[in-house]
Amino acid sequence: MEELSELLLQRRRKVDALWEAGINPYPNDFRPLHTSADILNAYGDKQQIDASDEIFVVAGRILARRSFGKAAFIQLQDRKGRVQLYVKKDEIGDEAFAAFESFDIGDIVGAEGYPFRTKTGELSLHARSIRLLVKSLLPLPEKFHGLTDVETRYRQRYVDLIVNPDAREIFIKRSRIVNLIRAFMVNRDFLEVETPMMHQIPGGATARPFVTHHNALDMELYLRIAPELYLKRLVVGGLERVFEINRNFRNEGISVRHNPEFTMMEFYQAYATYEDLMDLTEELFCHIAQELLGALDFTNQGLEISFQRPWKRLTVREAILEYGDVEAKHLDDRDLALAYARSIGLDLPDDIGYGKLVMEIFEEVAEHKLIQPTFITAYPTEVSPLSRKNDQNPDIVDRFELIIAGREIANAFSELNDPIDQKERFLAQVAEKDKGDEEAHYMDEDYVRALEYGLPPTAGEGIGIDRLVMLLTDSPSIRDVILFPQLRKETK
RNA sequence: GGGCAUGUAGCUUAGAUGGUAGAGCAGCCGACUCUUAAUCGGCAGGUCGUUGGUUCGAUCCCAACCAUGCCCA
């Protein structure tokens, strides 16, 4: 038997007492017919209420209690919000009131009552009856400060959701954002699909995978780092417009911007280019902001962000020249660029490729300064093994990343659909892997075979849902927008 | 992986140049039939993250470890 504090023993004794009195502390025959929001919607704007015969049937958790001997106020919380109940001994009877007096904060109850306004004007429900639906054995955090310890908020998100309305609001908004995205895509005739989460060859991104093992097949499998290669196979198959909203897994560090599993919306549109996707992205983001916030301008961590179109477009090179302290002729010369990179504190190997070098410089000097939505284009071919080369300049690809508030939110490109070129790019990646780059791509022969059948000219994009939610809910950490973020093992 | 910081009751916290801790809320008992962090009286609740070390004595000093946060890689 575990040791329990006096507080917990008292609750257990109450449960025992209920059983002994023939009362089930966990009944399941109560059906609420209304929510707190129904009451508010019906009477929120009425000062005079004469509806003592209109009965609302609600259920929820007791969050607060103020007792006066033969009457009491309790605050009830359901999925829509909170409503105050006034419980009077005269009204519900001696026996029911005696039972009511044993209810604790945290218990779940069902009640019937009629709406009225208290002397201080709060819309409340005058209870005709109230009964226990669930006896809670653990005390809730303090009413005034709530739960502030971040570790407990993440580990016991259920408590966080009970007592912190802000946390609840973020996850309601997250759900709305996903629904808005889904409706937007379906509206444009995209087909929602599900592709494997377990890959024999992890592909579609530059990242280290999680490894697992299938016993019956005695085979290594990898949790996917991206769905890209499967979604493009579907475009080969003629589905032409597909999207998937689902988790990716990357075996990398954890930070305010990174969780090992995170949610992406990836989509592919045949007969489109990356430039078409810039337009689509602007429209999608403006639609979400307008529906969710009612505005295209908002604040994120003290920064004024505006989704007003058109959004700025810069090449990687232009962004470096604008935000870094380097001249074009130096940036364009590999050795001089490397010297510049080192002068600003980057620790880079002598044999680093020019494309990687440029991206290191970009991330150091420009990315975090791009606050307003900005499409960064003209990425080096070297760091974009799945993107279509630019027709005028084969050293760059037809790709953009969308940066907002200094963070990468989306990544898109016109897809490389030349199977010969794709095979060569895979081989270059395999060479990098052999040199020790754990993030380099694997060869995927089946994907090349799919391209040999013919991938229509296609553009594809991935949008980081967690980061988008952070942006629109003004959350400083990715853990604030993921219900159960990854933590180390809990120690007792 | 490195640096800095934090860890005291269910929650939010105070505290001491080292002499084994104080409060508010929650809880229990009592009073109270319109409260909004209700109010009033009383009571109870702590191996001060874990393990070692120094010391007559450690929650406090030191070390390691665990967990969390922030920054860096």
Mean pLDDT, range A389-416, rounded to an integer? 96
Q: What is the pLDDT of residue A53?
A: 82
User: Using the CA of A488, which nucleotide's C1' is the nearest one?
Assistant: B67
Is A208 within 8 Å of A439 (Cβ atoms)? Answer: yes
Q: What is the pLDDT of residue A401?
A: 97
User: Using the CA of A163, which nucleotide's C1' is the nearest one?
Assistant: B11
Q: What is the pLDDT of residue A72?
A: 97
The answer to whether some atom of strand B lies closer than 7 Å to the beta carbon of A2 is: no
The answer to whether some atom of strand B lies closer than 7 Å to the beta carbon of A349 is: no
Type of residue found at A126: H
A301: nearest Cα among A480, A76, A112: A480
CA distance A24 to A250: 47
d(CA A287, C1' B51) / Å: 57
d(CA A4, C1' B8) / Å: 19
CA distance A91 to A68: 15
The answer to whether some atom of strand B lies closer than 7 Å to the beta carbon of A258 is: no
The answer to whether some atom of strand B lies closer than 7 Å to the beta carbon of A144 is: yes
The answer to whether some atom of strand B lies closer than 7 Å to the beta carbon of A318 is: no
Mean pLDDT, range A199-228, rounded to an integer? 94
Q: What is the pLDDT of residue A430?
A: 93
pLDDT digits (tens, 9 = 90+) for A141-175: 988 888 999 999 999 999 999 999 999 999 999 99
Judged against a pLDDT cut of 90, whether residue A445 lies above it is answered with yes
Mean pLDDT, range A434-452, rounded to an integer? 92
| Burial of A180 per CB tally in 10 Å (0-12, 13-18, 19+) | middle
d(CA A471, C1' B73) / Å: 26
Type of residue found at A491: T
pLDDT digits (tens, 9 = 90+) for A235-261: 999 999 999 999 999 998 899 999 999
User: Using the CA of A154, which nucleotide's C1' is the nearest one?
Assistant: B68
d(CA A155, C1' B28) / Å: 30
Enter the ipTM.
0.91
User: Using the CA of A6, which nucleotide's C1' is the nearest one?
Assistant: B45
Judged against a pLDDT cut of 60, whether residue A103 lies above it is answered with yes
Judged against a pLDDT cut of 90, whether residue A489 lies above it is answered with no
Q: How confident is the model at residue A1 (pLDDT cuts 50, 70, 90)?
A: very low
- Name the residue with the least CA to C1' distance from nucleotide B71: A255
d(CA A155, C1' B18) / Å: 36
Q: Is the pTM of this model over 0.80?
A: yes
User: Using the CA of A8, which nucleotide's C1' is the nearest one?
Assistant: B10
Strand B: which nucleotides have any atom within 7 A of a protein Cβ?
Answer: 1, 9-13, 24-28, 31-39, 44-46, 66-73
CA A94 to chain CA centroid, Å, is: 49
Mean pLDDT, range A110-125, rounded to an integer? 95
Q: How confident is the model at residue A492 (pLDDT cuts 50, 70, 90)?
A: low
- Name the residue with the least CA to C1' distance from nucleotide B10: A139
- Name the residue with the least CA to C1' distance from nucleotide B68: A151
What is the 3-class SS of chain A, one letter each residue? Answer: CCCCCHHHHHHHHHHHHHHHCCCCCCCCCCCCCCCHHHHHHHHCCCCCCCCCCCCEEEEEEEEEEEECCCEEEEEEEECCEEEEEEEEHHHHCHHHHHHHHCCCCCCEEEEEEEEEECCCCCEEEEEEEEEEEECCCCCCCCCCCCCCCHHHHHHCHHHHHHHCHHHHHHHHHHHHHHHHHHHHHHHCCCEECCCCCEECCCCCCCCCCCEEEECCCCEEEEECCCCHHHHHHHHHCCCCEEEEEEEEECCCCCECCECCEEEEEEEEEECCCHHHHHHHHHHHHHHHHHHHHCCCEEEECCEEEECCCCCEEEEHHHHHHHHCCCCHHHHCCHHHHHHHHHHCCCCCCCCCCHHHHHHHHHHHHCHHHCCCCEEEEEEEHHHCCCECECCCCCCEEEEEEEEECCEEEEEEEEECCCHHHHHHHHHHHHHHHHCCCCCCCCCCHHHHHHHHHCCCCEEEEEEEHHHHHHHHHCCCCHHHCCCCCCCCCCCC
CA distance A112 to A34: 10
> Around Cβ A91, how many Cβ atoms within 10 Å?
16
The answer to whether some atom of strand B lies closer than 7 Å to the beta carbon of A431 is: no
Is A134 within 8 Å of A107 (Cβ atoms)? Answer: yes
Is A249 within 8 Å of A225 (Cβ atoms)? Answer: yes
**Long-range pairs of A389-392 with CB within 8 A, sequence gap ≥ 24:** A389/A416, A389/A421
The answer to whether some atom of strand B lies closer than 7 Å to the beta carbon of A342 is: no
The answer to whether some atom of strand B lies closer than 7 Å to the beta carbon of A250 is: no
| Residue numbers in A 19-78, CB below 7 Å of strand B | 64-71, 73
Is A316 within 8 Å of A358 (Cβ atoms)? Answer: yes
Q: What is the pLDDT of residue A2?
A: 45
What average pLDDT is seen over chain A?
Answer: 94
Mean pLDDT, range A42-67, rounded to an integer? 91
CA distance A296 to A280: 16
